[in-house]
Amino acid sequence: MADGLILFTDIGDTIIDEGTEVRDVPGGVVRRAGCIPGARETMLSLHRQGMTIAMVADGLVQSFANTMAQNGLAHIFAAKAISEEVGAEKPSPLMFRAAMDRLGLTEADKGRIVMVGNNLAKDIVGANRFGICSVLLAWSPRYRHVPENAEETPDYTIFSPEELPALLERLGRARD
């Protein structure tokens, strides 16, 4: 287990398969959605092993309440930063700062934080600018996977959620 690491995670196309989202109206609350293959099991396993997990996601509070409850993941988050209530979207540092504050973390903890997400312009740029480790989950066909500049370049790239625990294990060992 990657002791001491803290996982920040995006939701859309990182845990939830955006292709399965059902909304009442375009842009409205997501009523239901399914997970990317392996994402649910991976997150539950990391949580059971004691990993601190924070949600850092752009969208509506009720959307995430719905989809996380449906997929049995509502209990795994030690903190949530959701753009609707933070008042900013990734890559804004306000999103990452909110998650840190809610976990009681300080600047000294930044080296322990790993952000995983699917979106280069939001998740990867946000994490890189904020000064935390960035991991691209290059699973979804809905967004590009090739960085256009240095800020979009992830520290690590994985292609399925199941690759995340081994990467975290490796990063945790490197810190020891």
Task: List residues binding Mg ion (CB under 5 A).
Answer: 10, 12-13, 118-119
Cβ at position 76, least distance to Mg ion in Å? 17
Instruction: Report angle CA 88, 145, 96 to the nearest 5 degrees.
Output: 25
The length of the chain is 176
* C-beta of 18 vs 169, nearer to Mg ion: 18
82 DSSP β-pair partners: 57
Least distance in Å: CB of 119 to Mg ion?
A: 5
Instruction: For the CB of residue 18, give the shortest distance to Mg ion in the complex, in Å.
Output: 7
* Sequence-distant (≥ 6) Cβ neighbours of residue 118 within 8 angstroms: 10, 12, 13, 14, 136, 137, 138, 139, 140, 143
Q: Which residue is nearest to Mg ion (CB)?
A: 12
* Beta carbon nearer to Mg ion, 12 or 161: 12
Q: Which residue, 3 or 148, is less far from Mg ion as judged by CB?
A: 148
